[in-house]
Amino acid sequence: MEWRAAPHPGHEMNQRDKNSTHDGHPARAFFGRRKGHPLRARQIELFETLLPKIAVDLSKPAPADLKTLFGGVDNVRLEIGFGGAEHLIAQAIANPQSGFIAGDGYINAIAKALIAVEDKALGNIRLHHGDASALIDWLPAGGLSRVDLLYPDPWPKRKHWKRRFIQHDSLARLARLLKAGGELRFATDIADYAVHALARVLRSKDFIWTAENSAHWKNPWPDFSGTRYEEKAKREGRAPGYFIFRKK
């Protein structure tokens, strides 16, 4: 048996559909690259046995209190597009008092997370395999303490910048999910994406940039857990930036 995700023409595509967000504006889809390597036997088994137990069910209304999805947590965080799951797993281990909802459209990303969840017996992770837009619209207002967006696709060509995840509309949608004082944490190794994001945050009515000096964005935040993508970026000479945007 060979599992492959259906191929998709783009990553975080900026397309409008007939669905609407909670504020009545058209929903924006953020698709992940879904075609990947064939899954190993154990990964296939975990898709069939573990994932149904820890997947959020978007066919039902979200609970008003997201903490009820977990046992004994005092806050809930979201990670969008977790890739190899290194950061997600490290954070879940370091913060057992937090619940983590993590979404990725890439089938191999979900497979890696499932292996780690089982091997490390992590009960504070819930997964969504699919488009981040559907998950964002499903989540209740004010239910999150933090959102992590690490190294999203930079769409380097100027004509494709409209496909980047951070846009005026997506900032508003993420702001809806955060409690007052909650944080959107964003990391990128692409300088013009950092400028792109900052330009939109600085015009946002919902967020403020917390940095007081360059050290605050040139260095990882204290509890940051690195990723393999980050290591690759550093090897190739790209310096990551680490940004914290706080909801007003």
**Strand positions, DSSP E, 50-108:** 75-80, 98-104
Strands 144-150 and 75-80: parallel
Sign of the alpha-carbon dihedral angle for 165, 167, 171, 174: negative
As a whole number of angstroms, the distance between CA 63 and CA 140 comes to 7
CB distance 35 to 7 below 8 Å: yes
Active site residues: 153
Residue length, the chain?
A: 248
Contact indicator for 199, 193 with CB cutoff of 8 Å:
no
